[in-house]
Amino acid sequence: MKKALLVILFIFTGFLAQATELVQMINTYQADYSALRRLYSNALSAEYFERMQSFNQDYLKSLQAYNYDSFSEDGKIDYVLFRNYLEKELAELDLDQRAFGEISSVLAFAAPLEEFVKGRRRAVRPKAQDLAASWNQVALQIDQQLKALPSQSKYNSWQKADLAAQAVESLNKVTAEAYSYYYDYDPEFTWWMPASWKKLDASMKAYAKGLREHYTNSVKDDGSGIIGKPIGREALENALAFEMIAYSPEELIKEAEKQFAWCEKEMLKASNELGFGNDWKAALEMVKETYLPEGEWPAEVIRLAEEATDYMESNDLVTVPALAKETWRTIMISAERQRVSPFFLGGEVIQIAYPTTEMSFEDKMMSMRGNNPHFSRATVQHELIPGHHLQQFMNQRYMTHRRIFRTPFWTEGWALYWEFVLWDRDFPRDAKDKVGMLFWRMHRCARIIFSLNYHLGNMTPQECIDLLVDKVGHERANAEAEVRRSFEGSYGPLYQIAYMIGALEIYALRDEMVNSGKMGEKEFHDLILMQNTMSIEILRAKVTGNPLKKDHQARWKFLD
């Protein structure tokens, strides 16, 4: 009975915590935003930038009109989160619009096509003969622009050339969609338009191809085969400010180097314990050779996951709902996906990387060596419980309106934070476990160093790969996959630094609240999970009870 009452109280408390003053506004914003994105589907157009800017500005004005002082504690948190979110959206729109403005002249032919696309939204029936003639003229104009391209100054970077090509391709895509809307359903359109569309489509594709190669003074591929897009200092500093990180890129790199030095010191201890002296890379190689025979790995992953969950519960570290334990499951990662994700991916489904038949012998061995039990004991719980699966389970049930404020500093920071805590609690059973845990901790330090330097223009993808191989001890294929994931995947520019930096934030908050005796450990962890995702500096206001100012900006020096 007592346990049942505690469960009811846990759920009821979470329900009450969601009743903040801005829930409706935030939920409505998300619905409005999605509706506008579906309508204005060409994100590389003046129409799109103007509409999305006015949309976010209107919401920001409405938000600022509220009486902030009348809000509850959670209402004030929502206010600051939403204000910061809208300001971030506007800043990113401004950067994107400025970049678009630098290449928008390539769309000098666009007006008739944009008018056609707008008419299609409300099923305006075009005058097919006139439209066919117009499209022939547009195609001729595009051909002339392509012909004139060699005589024009080249773009100073391949990224700018690529953006110009994307602008043409994006217009071509929405034009094709509108064309398919009328074709076969409007007899006159179907009779007049196919030849004109074929010519226009071919001209736009040829122009985009020409634009994509129209650049100089820039290396697109440094030999690694990885094509990313460094965002530069201004965008990087803006992103850090909106994530409430009150440090410069250089300060974060310095901290990563400091953390890496700590890892090396601990790795030397483990190496000596294993009999390899100061040759920790030899100890690392020995640990890699502890991989399991083919076919046996998934069962070991299950065992590691259950061990971690049992440890959480037996030490009363965090509440683990019974349904969270019941509902996770596993799948295997395809060989193609392992080119980007050579290790675990997690959440409700833990995705397991291990060799497949189509892999070469060398790639099979690298996959098995990189996914050994001692490396994985530090990361299975990162992906499942108390990591990503427990996070997602709680995010779907508490403060659900805050999922819009998602940030990898909360998501990845929380999961890596537990690796810190488990290290402190002597979770490693022996020196081989320590080597495995330290390998991943060094990896997270290296991610900060190479990703920030890459976006600042100080490192190439190949240099990032070499760093992971030479300094961390990665298998080369796995290092290539990690760098490809960082720069060619769907991850934001700060994603890879968020693991270590977010963990350090939560770790500093733990020191402030738990280690000081102000809050119990389980209470601390449950409170974080029930707040949903947000910048850790804003989370700190909730955990500490310190009020937020209406215009709060990043200022927490958690590394100090």
199-247 residue pLDDT tens: 999 999 999 999 999 998 777 778 888 888 888 999 999 999 999 999 9
Same domain, 79 and 116: no
Q: What mean pLDDT is predicted for residues 84-91?
A: 97
Are 384 and 305 spatial neighbours (Cβ–Cβ below 8 Å)? yes
Smallest CA-to-CA distance from 365 within 285, 432, 435 is with: 285
Among the three residues 103, 118, 142, which one is the final residue of a domain in this structure? Answer: 103
| Strand (E) or helix (H) holding 263 | helix 249-273
Residue 129 lies in a domain: yes
Among the three residues 57, 85, 103, which one is the final residue of a domain in this structure? Answer: 103
Q: What mean pLDDT is predicted for residues 112-126?
A: 97
- Residue 182's domain comprises 108-218
Are 416 and 274 spatial neighbours (Cβ–Cβ below 8 Å)? no
Same domain, 329 and 389: yes
**Structural domains of the chain, count:** 3
Residue 554 lies in a domain: no
Q: What mean pLDDT is predicted for residues 349-373?
A: 81
Q: Which pLDDT tens digit goes with each residue over 18-75?
A: 569 999 999 999 999 999 999 999 999 999 999 999 999 999 999 999 999 999 999 9
Segment of 18-32, 333-347, 519-533 carrying the highest mean pLDDT: 519-533
| Strand (E) or helix (H) holding 141 | helix 128-148
Q: Which pLDDT tens digit goes with each residue over 390-407?
A: 999 999 999 999 999 999
Average per-residue pLDDT in the chain? 92
Q: What mean pLDDT is predicted for residues 159-171?
A: 97
Residue 67 lies in a domain: yes
Same domain, 115 and 240: no
Residue 302 lies in a domain: yes
Among the three residues 103, 136, 151, which one is the final residue of a domain in this structure? Answer: 103
More confident residue, 13 or 135: 135
pLDDT tier for residue 459 given thresholds of 50, 70 and 90 = very high
pLDDT tier for residue 344 given thresholds of 50, 70 and 90 = low
Same domain, 452 and 539: yes
Same domain, 404 and 485: yes
Same domain, 116 and 56: no
Q: In the prediction, which pLDDT does 17 show?
A: 45
Distance CA 46, CA 101 (A): 9
| Per-residue tokens: 521 | 């450990």
Residue type, 58: D
Distance CA 241, CA 88 (A): 9
Omega before 126 within 30 of 0, i.e. cis: no
- HSE-CB at 470 with a 13 A cutoff on CA atoms is 7
Q: Which pLDDT tens digit goes with each residue over 494-510?
A: 999 999 999 999 999 99
**Strand 349-352 relative to strand 329-332: parallel, antiparallel, unpaired?**
parallel
- HSE-CB at 462 with a 13 A cutoff on CA atoms is 7
Q: Which pLDDT tens digit goes with each residue over 255-287?
A: 999 999 999 999 999 999 999 999 999 999 999
Distance CA 414, CA 387 (A): 7
Q: What mean pLDDT is predicted for residues 307-315?
A: 96
3 state DSSP class of 472: helix
Distance CA 530, CA 394 (A): 7
Residue 291 lies in a domain: yes
Three-state secondary structure string covering 451-508: HHHHHCCCCCHHHHHHHHHHHHCCCHHHHHHHHHHHHHCCCCCCHHHHHHHHHHHHHH
pLDDT tier for residue 340 given thresholds of 50, 70 and 90 = low
Distance CA 466, CA 450 (A): 10
Q: What mean pLDDT is predicted for residues 278-306?
A: 90
Residue 555 lies in a domain: no
Distance CA 535, CA 89 (A): 15
Same domain, 373 and 341: yes
Same domain, 423 and 503: yes
Same domain, 96 and 112: no
Same domain, 183 and 239: no
Q: Which pLDDT tens digit goes with each residue over 424-458?
A: 999 999 999 999 999 999 999 999 999 999 999 99
Q: In the prediction, which pLDDT does 25 show?
A: 97
Same domain, 156 and 242: no
Same domain, 351 and 444: yes
Q: In the prediction, which pLDDT does 19 show?
A: 66
Cα 242 to Cα 55, 87, 335, 515: the distances in Å are 19, 8, 36, 29
pLDDT tier for residue 516 given thresholds of 50, 70 and 90 = very high
CA angle 457, 462, 468 (to 5 degrees): 100
pLDDT tier for residue 183 given thresholds of 50, 70 and 90 = very high
Residue 559 lies in a domain: no
